[in-house]
A and B are shown apart, each in its own frame.
Chain A
Amino acid sequence: MKRTRILPAGAAVVAASLLLSGCGGTGADTASDTLNIATMTVPSSLDPVDATGSALPYFQAVYDTLIKRAPDGSYEPMLATEWSYNDDRTVLSLTLRDDVAFADGTALDADAVTANLLRFRDGGGTDSANLAGVTDVTAVDATHVDIVMDAPNPGLEFYLSDSAGLMANPAGFEDEDALKTTPDGTGPYRLDADGTVIGTKWVFDKNDEYWDSELPFDTVTISAFDNENAIVNGLKTGQIDTALLQSVDQQIAAEADTALTSTPTSFDFQGLFLFDRDGAVTPELGDVRVRQAINYALDRQTMLDQIMQGRGAVTSQVFGVNAPGYEESLDEAYPHDPAKAKELLAEAGYADGISLTLPRMAAIVSDPLASAIQTSLAEAGIELTWEDLDQATALQRIFSDREFSGTVLNIGQSSNDWIVIQSLILPGTFNMFGSTDPEVQSLVESIRSASADDAVTDVRALNEHIVEEAWFAPFYRVEHQLVTDAGVTAEPQSGLAVPSIYNYAPAK
């Protein structure tokens, strides 16, 4: 640690400089050579196998992905210059750049890519599930890699442009913990270990040997906060350049400051996931009419108005507006109709109503939301009891122990149809009881083996079918605000809640 010489300054001088530094903080910190990003997401490590969702920018700073995903969702070359499928779409052939190396000189070649991909598949993280169908990865020659799958996976390109595309130096694979705190990639920045306080602030300095054109900032810092109030205060005082705000009130607070620019983005939707479509935990839910009744009972517009200040859009489908499978008319598939809900319950044989217990994670279901859902359902004769869960055991009780028949979640809406299908409709985490039916099966099979463009009709049919079967009771798509100060511009990123690290630029 560097020692600072303390000048024999009197208290008055110290006080004066203190005031000055307070005032001057605004100018100094927003200089265009440093980009200060604030976030509430903390990565569990900087090893790519631990990369997930909104933590991606931390990794993008240090690692490059095989395929780059442009802000609009289209795929562009990055470490891979070309890629193509074989005829039955079970082999993806990648052509790699031949001029990229890690800091220690190790070349980013076909062997390195193979090692990384296999590590993802076998590493136990989120990408293990995504790459589960990969049977083999073979290095054809130094710059060509084939990814072989047991069945077509239309999500593969997306994965390679996301966390599963992050390429780390295989030299670090020996030691299980090495990459966690000392990331080693070919990316535009390198972690400044001295300036970084893990858990609080990560400092990335420009990689002078970067193979591609440099990014516009010399230094990028990502600071993690526990609450958005601190973030907004930092934005207002110029200590933070940009952040994504989720809470409506903090969005309003930021909008009140004319020096800040807010860009609405939409990624998450919030809704009640009715996992128990076969009635294993709550037998009543095995009847489609009961699930439909829940959908009719929800007063989505009022909930949106009261809880989200009308920010966002009500919906009854799980596909987002950026996904080709999205069908606008399905947003209104279940208008608020308590009478109809009662009728459906009566038809299903529950004229006296049913009772339902759902888990509640305070971070997701706020007090007003909890009581709004309770009130809505009560009107239709569904008695809802919330069981408070704490953060440490919630995932386990809901997803491992499968104690509940459903839960309220916020989930990002991928722009890739297949990823929506795979994560929400196929058996898996969010279809934990493995619900399916012949129509789902046949639609999924045809979607899987077609190219994305050819599959659209089937995806929409599947979407409609799922809405009709009321597998979910979505509430609304949530609107977030991407806030930047006067010195920075940022572009929202398709398929990600926050912008990619490449999407920031100094304001002109």
Chain B
Amino acid sequence: MFSRLLYGAQNTLGGAVIALAVALVIGIPTGLLAGYYGSWFDSVSSWVVNLVMALPAMVVLLASRAILGNTVWVLMIVMGVLVAPSFFRLVRGIVVTVRNELYVDAARVSGLRDWRIIGRHILIVVRGPIIVQISLVAGVAIGLQAGLEFLGIGSGSTPTWGAALNEAFQNIQRAPVLMVWPGVALGVTSAALVLFGSSVRDILEEGAGEPPRAVALPAEAPRDADSAPRGTLLSVRDLAVAYARDGGGEKEVVHGVSLDIDTGRILGLVGESGSGKSQTAFSVLGILPQGGRVSRGSITVGGTEIVGLPEKRHRGLRGRTIAYIPQEPMSNLDPSFTIGSQLVEPMRVTLGLGAAEARTKAIELLRMVEIADPERTFRSYPHQISGGMAQRVLIAGAMSCDPELVIADEPTTALDVTVQAEVLNLLRRLQSERGMGVLLVTHNLGVVADICDTVAVMEHGRIVETGTVAQVLTAPSHPYTQRLLASVLDESDVRPPWRDPSTEVTPA
């Protein structure tokens, strides 16, 4: 029995490998090419794929068996051809969606050859889904063999697990135990394949795998007593942010940050990537990524303590009292909804407006952020508008519920230089018209000089210097501030490389 199982394994697994190899060799390159170049190749290959997918597999298998011979190998090669379209569709689908993404565009603009773009940028995106698909298809191939054997149209006289299972099934009344081993062998193999596939994908896609859940502990009180007077709009005291570690325990990434904003004032929070600026901003908004929590300190907004506030009440503050303007405009709009519906929805939810009222207000907001044709933009989908326009839409969204505090996370970084200035002017105008306080997260000291009242400089999760813009920019006391200042004078601001949001572990 055992030796038959081992011998069967060779044929069963060998067959699955052949089916897979055939499917991969046919499916992936064609999918890449069709997705990347589109045009006639896409039309032709998609048509052929539809043809293959529309064929009833069972009939094809039976017919090819009659024509090509009755061996497990023939069946598996045919099977490979039949499943190749699933790889093609998968790959083509992903490639079509990333083909026009900014980073691919950037690579193209920077003169990379197509095959390098495909190899370096696109293949990386598709490899995860492909790996999962491989394990699924391998499972299907193995299962199909067994099924065909069951129908008595299997491998002829080649011993496979399917054949063993079928034979056991015929003897189920006499010796039901015979069914166990080939069944277990089949089951365990497919299960192993699927688990292997998804863990490889997880490793590739998410680095260390899924982030562990945040430790469920209340935040400690701030360590230093209230020495300085607290800001009237926002006051942060001894804020520490910690992330749960894989093996348990926590890692602190923000260490005791304190800052204040008075009503109607603008604070620039400056620092390089990874200095903890965004973590601080997200803490105020209460939208730290999974695994992160405020582990210590106090945050008050308009006098209300929000550390330890129940999520529901915190949510009540978001949008209405605190608003958020993100960094990358395109990725912060839901691609499936029109601009209009994305503006209307939060107003209806948080302000309880009626549909018509919210629509009027949304169009007003679009006009307010200096969008030329607000009606048309209202009806547009995010992919139909430019990056600068998208950022205006996001600003309009932030303004929609008349917030007191706006947290702007590098609002101009992803934009063209000319657009940057316009957006900044817009921000400044809105701020002064509405008397909002602004926490402006940036690494750009030029922006700070332009519109901020006060500035806080962060390095390695700590505030190293605070003061008025005039003080800090003209007479920096901390060496880090001095270095930052020096670098601004040296080089012009360039757009940072795009990062795939799905591969990002913890935001900077």
Contacts and interface: CB of A to CB of B under 8 A. Distances in A.
A72 interface: no
Contacts of B507: none
Contacts of A309: 174
B157 A249 contact: no
A247 interface: yes
Given A362-B152, A390-B70, A367 B174 contact: no
Interface string A353-364: 000000000110
Given A388-B156, A388-B157, A367 B172 contact: no
A309 to B, nearest CB: 7
B206 interface: no
Nearest to B175: A249
A392 interface: yes
A202 B194 CA distance: 45
A249 B167 contact: no
A252 interface: yes
B65 interface: yes
Interface string B143-171: 00000000010001100000100010011
B65 A249 contact: no
A54 B304 CA distance: 89
20 contacts: A247-B170, A249-B170, A249-B171, A249-B174, A250-B173, A252-B174, A253-B173, A256-B173, A309-B174, A362-B152, A362-B156, A363-B152, A367-B157, A370-B157, A386-B157, A388-B156, A388-B157, A390-B66, A390-B70, A392-B66
Contact of A393 (B66, B170, B172): B66
Contact of B172 (A249, A363, A386, A392): A249
A388 B156 CA distance: 7
B320 to A, nearest CB: 42
Instruction: Give chain B's interface secondary structure class.
Output: loop
A226 to B, nearest CB: 8
Contacts of B173: 249-250, 252-253, 256
Interface in A388-421: 388, 390, 392-393
| In the complex, the 10 A-B pairs of residues with the closest C-beta atoms, listed nearest first | A252-B173, A253-B173, A388-B156, A388-B70, A249-B173, A390-B66, A249-B170, A249-B171, A362-B152, A249-B174
Interface string A218-256: 000000000000000000000000000001011011001
A362 B151 CA distance: 11
Contacts of B66: 390, 392-393
Nearest to A368: B167
A224 to B, nearest CB: 16
Interface residues of A, number: 17
A225 B65 CA distance: 23
| Most interface-central of B66, B70, B171, B173 (chain A CB within 10 A) | B173
Interface residues of B, number: 13
A363 B66 CA distance: 15
Given A362-B152, A388-B156, A393-B66, A367 B171 contact: no
A367 B167 contact: yes
A368 B174 CA distance: 15
A249 B171 CA distance: 6
Contacts of B152: 362-363
Contacts of A392: 66
A47 to B, nearest CB: 28
B151 to A, nearest CB: 8
Contacts of A247: 170
A367 B163 contact: yes
Interface in B149-205: 152, 156-157, 163, 167, 170-174
A256 B172 CA distance: 12
Contacts of A388: 70, 156-157
B466 to A, nearest CB: 65
A249 B179 CA distance: 14
B167 A390 contact: no
A370 B163 CA distance: 14
A461 to B, nearest CB: 41
Contacts of B170: 247, 249
Nearest to A251: B173
| Most interface-central of A249, A256, A368 (chain B CB within 10 A) | A249
Contacts of A250: 173
A256 B173 CA distance: 9
Contact of A390 (B65, B157, B163, B171): B65
Contacts of A370: 157
Nearest to A250: B173
B499 to A, nearest CB: 49
Contacts of A363: 152
A256 B176 CA distance: 14
Contacts of B65: 390
Contacts of A253: 172-173
Contacts of B70: 388, 390
Interface in B457-492: none
| Most interface-central of B65, B152, B170, B174 (chain A CB within 10 A) | B170
A253 B70 CA distance: 31
Contacts of A393: 66
Contacts of A390: 65-66, 70
Given A256-B173, A367-B163, A390-B70, 11 more contacts: A249-B170, A249-B171, A249-B172, A249-B173, A249-B174, A253-B173, A367-B167, A368-B167, A370-B157, A386-B157, A392-B66
| Most interface-central of A309, A362, A386 (chain B CB within 10 A) | A362
Interface in A256-272: 256
Nearest to B154: A362
A47 B171 CA distance: 38
Contacts of B163: 367
A362 B155 CA distance: 11
A388 B158 CA distance: 11
B243 to A, nearest CB: 46
| Most interface-central of A252, A309, A388, A393 (chain B CB within 10 A) | A388
Interface in B56-94: 65-66, 70
A305 to B, nearest CB: 13
A392 B67 CA distance: 11
A361 B56 CA distance: 25
Nearest to B152: A362
Contacts of A368: 167
A81 to B, nearest CB: 48
A379 B452 CA distance: 99
A360 to B, nearest CB: 8
B259 to A, nearest CB: 58
Contacts of B157: 367, 370, 386, 388
A386 B163 CA distance: 18
A392 B66 CA distance: 8
Nearest to B169: A229
Contacts of A367: 157, 163, 167
Interface string A297-341: 000000000000100000000000000000000000000000000
Contacts of B156: 362, 388
A365 to B, nearest CB: 10
A331 to B, nearest CB: 26
A367 B174 CA distance: 17
A412 B173 CA distance: 27
A392 B156 CA distance: 15
A196 B170 CA distance: 31
B238 to A, nearest CB: 57
A367 B159 CA distance: 10
A334 B170 CA distance: 31
B171 to A, nearest CB: 6
B467 to A, nearest CB: 69
Contacts of A249: 170-174
